Amino acid sequence: MRKDNANRNRIAAVRFTAAEFTAIEKRFKASTCRQMSQYLRACVLNKPITTLYRNASLDEYMLEIIRLRKELSALGNNFNQAVKKLHTLRQLPEFRDWITSTEAQRAELLEKIQTIERLMEKTAEKWLQ
């Protein structure tokens, strides 16, 4: 059995105006094709082209979730440090000071959790529409 040579050795040159090329480039960048030649070959040969799209509201949601995750991580670290300090306390006055300082952290943590809940409700409403 003889195997066919699959190398591409034929060239078809096409000239575009700047506006035409910009439009083609925009479509190419919105596709899953890795190279412009792959995209153009698919267009010319009427092959299916998978295009990507971005959901702007989902992007905003992800940025907000990332920011909240960082804040929650920082709060968790602070709380862990406070608990470690609690284990080292020997006298009652130090314990009272620790309680008052961690109360503010607890309130901040609860506020962040409520923000997450509101954000998730908002996103769920968008998904259900």
Domain boundaries, the chain: 1-53, 56-128
What would the mean pLDDT of 38-53 be, rounded to a whole number? 86
For 89-114, the DSSP string reads --SHHHHHHHHHHHHHHHHHHHHHHH
- The token duo for 96 is 């009272």
Is the model's pLDDT at 110 over the cut of 60?
A: yes
Query: HSE of 124 in the Cβ direction (CA atoms, 13 Å)?
Result: 6
Spatial contact of 52 and 30, defined as CB atoms under 8 Å apart: yes
In the structure, what pLDDT confidence band is assigned to residue 1 with cuts at 50, 70 and 90? very low
Is the model's pLDDT at 40 over the cut of 70?
A: yes
Please give the Cα distance from 22 to 20 (Å, whole number).
5
pTM: 0.41
Q: Which position has the token pair 């009652």?
A: 92
Please give the Cα distance from 80 to 62 (Å, whole number).
26
In the structure, what pLDDT confidence band is assigned to residue 17 with cuts at 50, 70 and 90? very high
In the structure, what pLDDT confidence band is assigned to residue 3 with cuts at 50, 70 and 90? low
Please give the Cα distance from 82 to 93 (Å, whole number).
15
Is the model's pLDDT at 2 over the cut of 60?
A: no
In the structure, what pLDDT confidence band is assigned to residue 112 with cuts at 50, 70 and 90? confident
